[in-house]
Amino acid sequence: MGQLRCRRAGQVLALVFVAILALAACGGGGGGGGGQTDTGGEAGTPVSGGDLIDLQNFAQGEPDHIEPGLSSTIQGSQPGELVWDGLTENDYKTGELKPMVAESWTNNPDATQFVFKLRKNVTWSDGTPVLPSDFVRGWNRVVQKQFASEVAYHFDPIKGKAEVDAGKAKTMSGLKADDANLTLTVDLAYPYSTFPTTTSHLVFSPIHKEVEKLKDQTKYEQGVMIGNGPYKLAEPWKHERYIKLVRNDNYWGGLNNHKPYLNSVEFRISKDVDSAFADFEAGTGQTGYIPPGRFAEVKAKYAGRVSDKSILGVYWWGFNMKDPMVGGAANLKLRQAIAYAIDKQAIVNSVYNGSRQVATALTPPGLPGYKEGLNPLGGGRDLNKAKQLLDEWGGAAKITKPIKLNFGAGAGHEPVATIIQANLKELGINAELAPGDTETYFTQMRQGKGQFLRSGWIWDYVSYDNGMYPLFHSNSIGGDNLVQYSNPKFDKLVDEARAEIDQAKANELYNQAEQTMLTDVAVVPLNWYTGQVAYSEQLKNVIQSPLDFFAYDEMWLQQ
């Protein structure tokens, strides 16, 4: 008797459970204020006031650092971008280099010296003026040995850094500050014409003299740091919870000559991307980071309120050019065949749910100097050409062992590798997935232990050089030149470009360099990153920079 009841009750409960799940299936499409034709870019006059809760920047977890001298990630640098203004800045819409705290600069003919003239009216949030010595203090601080900063490499071009690294000096000899005349003179160790562009990076920020009171510089970011930007820290970093900024009332006005509209910006720190976006959908914040698998659906639901501009980032798989099976001039046709065989669109559609752009070259559009059609292979899929080239090379039978597809495990690359494996199978080429332990993956690739390896690159600054030199110059082998690419023609073009003052001419040289590398098929660029942020109706004038920063000082909340 009891058992019968047991079974029936069990069935009822099971049915209830199924019903709940079915409801979830229907409820998933439920609307939440979607489909406005508002482009979010222009929308009337700015309104001062309002507090923004941001759920997109730290949707994936807490950064290790947020201060200019230590931050090595875009997300970690976002608050800093609002708290400090540097010598220069790249326009968030066009990517063009603009003078910021420096009102102008000059250079010598061979691009080994730059003199920056600072504006007179720029002050710290405590009212004191920003001087050239503040920049010198900030830059020297980063390269100190005991500071052990991972981002000190940005200062490599500066004369005197090598001596500091070797322990022979405490400060970089190439920096000279003239506070009376508000000039900063920088001598470089080698010709580097894009140096002013690099000074737009957060690491080149000025640092307030309050820092001299600290015994341990690494503690600076645990307190309230003084900056000269549109916002200032309201309170110290609340770990794992939020970072809160409030308007800097002493702000000099910036390039558009106005104080920020929003009263405060609170960057909430989340742990799980899906939960963070659910929080945005529940109305807790005004911005949300779209989880990778939901891009197409969110874009449709929040039409007009999604920022998906192209970001200067590229996802690629490259060949170890020193590998006997795939590298070198002899195997060029094999590399071409593989490049033609990979179905980039399928990868973008399924793995990235449409949130990336198929890449036809290495450098993305949006970078000044970008030129279409650099890739002699075209960049698309052509299975017939692939087969033809493979045969010309010697046929699939010539490959004795399965080609290794190297990637860091647990970072979401397995599906991509699986698709590539299937693509190669269509050519008759056997490939095997070779996931590497995330810790040692890059070290091993640097040592040349990979064959067809995955990597990516996010630009540090809006400069063509940043995608060329660190990735493909022979000097960078053992560093970020994972594919062990070494081509004297490429090196010469890049070296010339670095010394070329005229940026237009320099970009042409970089174009040729990139074309050389793509002709050698050192890498197969798969896709370019795009923004993945959704925002609420009330938020206006949302501008995303090519480096994936947002101009919070230009946004306002419609009340």
Q: Which of residues 255-284 bind other proteins (CB under 8 A)?
A: 268-276, 278-279, 281-284
Cβ closer to other proteins: 395 or 478?
478
For 254, 256, 291, 494, the CA distances from 248, given in Å and listed in that order, are: 12, 15, 33, 42
Please list every residue from 277 through 336 that binds other proteins, using CB under 8 A. Answer: 278-279, 281-284, 291-294, 297
For 336, 366, 516, the CA distances from 376, given in Å and listed in that order, are: 10, 21, 9
Cβ closer to other proteins: 259 or 322?
322
Residue 537 touches other proteins, criterion: CB under 8 A: no
The nearest distance, CB 146 to other proteins, in angstroms, is 7
Cβ closer to other proteins: 237 or 464?
237
Cβ proximity of 121 and 115 under 8 Å: no
Q: Give the CA angle between residues 440, 443, 445 to the nearest 5°.
A: 105
Question: Is 191 strand, coil or helix?
Answer: coil
Residue 537 CA to residue 200 CA, distance in Å, equals: 31
Question: Per CB under 8 A, which region of 70-78, 82-90, 129-137, 356-364 contacts other proteins?
Answer: 70-78
Residue 56 touches other proteins, criterion: CB under 8 A: no
Residue 539 CA to residue 558 CA, distance in Å, equals: 6
Please list every residue from 350 through 379 that binds other proteins, using CB under 8 A. Answer: 350-351
Residue 10 touches other proteins, criterion: CB under 8 A: yes
Residue 496 touches other proteins, criterion: CB under 8 A: no
Residue 526 CA to residue 311 CA, distance in Å, equals: 14
Please list every residue from 377 through 416 that binds other proteins, using CB under 8 A. Answer: 409-410, 414-415
Alpha helices (H) along 51-180: 74-83, 132-142, 161-165
Residue 339 CA to residue 317 CA, distance in Å, equals: 10
The nearest distance, CB 450 to other proteins, in angstroms, is 14
Residue 190 touches other proteins, criterion: CB under 8 A: no
Question: Is 542 strand, coil or helix?
Answer: coil
The nearest distance, CB 161 to other proteins, in angstroms, is 10
Residue 28 touches other proteins, criterion: CB under 8 A: yes
Instruction: Quickly count: other Cβ atoms within 10 Å of residue 495's Cβ.
Output: 17
Residue 234 touches other proteins, criterion: CB under 8 A: no
The nearest distance, CB 346 to other proteins, in angstroms, is 4
Instruction: List, as one string, the DSSP characters of 99-123.
Output: ESSEEEEEE-TTSSEEEEEE-SS-B
215 Cβ contact list (under 8 Å, min separation 6): none
Residue 239 touches other proteins, criterion: CB under 8 A: yes
Residue reference for tokens 């929003």:
262
Expressed in angstroms, the distance from the first to the final Cα of the chain is 64
Residue 94 touches other proteins, criterion: CB under 8 A: no
Contact string (CB under 8 A) for other proteins, positions 449-478, x = contact: ------xxx--------------------x
Contact string (CB under 8 A) for other proteins, positions 413-442, x = contact: -xx--xx--x----------x-x-xxxx-x
Residue 215 touches other proteins, criterion: CB under 8 A: no
The nearest distance, CB 85 to other proteins, in angstroms, is 25
Residue 61 touches other proteins, criterion: CB under 8 A: yes
The nearest distance, CB 240 to other proteins, in angstroms, is 4
Contact string (CB under 8 A) for other proteins, positions 125-164, x = contact: --------------------xxxxxx-xx-----------
Residue 476 CA to residue 471 CA, distance in Å, equals: 7
The nearest distance, CB 415 to other proteins, in angstroms, is 5
Cβ closer to other proteins: 375 or 481?
481
- The one among 73, 94, 106, 538 contacting other proteins by CB under 8 A: 73
- The one among 43, 47, 72, 371 contacting other proteins by CB under 8 A: 72
Residue 213 touches other proteins, criterion: CB under 8 A: no
The nearest distance, CB 262 to other proteins, in angstroms, is 21
Residue 180 touches other proteins, criterion: CB under 8 A: no
Residue 106 touches other proteins, criterion: CB under 8 A: no
> Which tokens sit at 27?
């409820």
Please give the size of the binding site for other proteins, defined by CB under 8 A.
92
The nearest distance, CB 483 to other proteins, in angstroms, is 13
Beta-strand relationship, 183-187 and 175-178 = antiparallel
- The one among 52, 56, 65, 265 contacting other proteins by CB under 8 A: 65
537 Cβ contact list (under 8 Å, min separation 6): 33, 36, 38, 305, 558
Instruction: Quickly count: other Cβ atoms within 10 Å of residue 538's Cβ.
Output: 13
- Give residue 69's identity as a one-letter amino acid code: G
Identify the CA nearest to 532 among candidates 355, 352, 281, 366. Answer: 355
435 Cβ contact list (under 8 Å, min separation 6): 406, 407, 408, 409, 410, 413, 414, 417
- The one among 213, 215, 219, 401 contacting other proteins by CB under 8 A: 219
The nearest distance, CB 323 to other proteins, in angstroms, is 20
Question: Is 247 strand, coil or helix?
Answer: strand
Residue 168 touches other proteins, criterion: CB under 8 A: no
- Give residue 310's identity as a one-letter amino acid code: S
Cβ closer to other proteins: 369 or 436?
436
Cβ closer to other proteins: 405 or 543?
405
Cβ closer to other proteins: 371 or 446?
446
> Which tokens sit at 110?
């061979």
Class of residue 300 by CB neighbours under 10 A (exposed 0-12, middle 13-18, buried 19+): exposed
The nearest distance, CB 59 to other proteins, in angstroms, is 10
Q: Across 210-369, where does the E strand assignment appear?
A: 231-233, 242-247, 264-269, 287-289, 306-307, 310-319, 356-358
- The one among 343, 500, 514, 554 contacting other proteins by CB under 8 A: 343
Residue 527 CA to residue 95 CA, distance in Å, equals: 20
Q: How distant is the alpha carbon of residue 554 from its chain centre?
A: 21
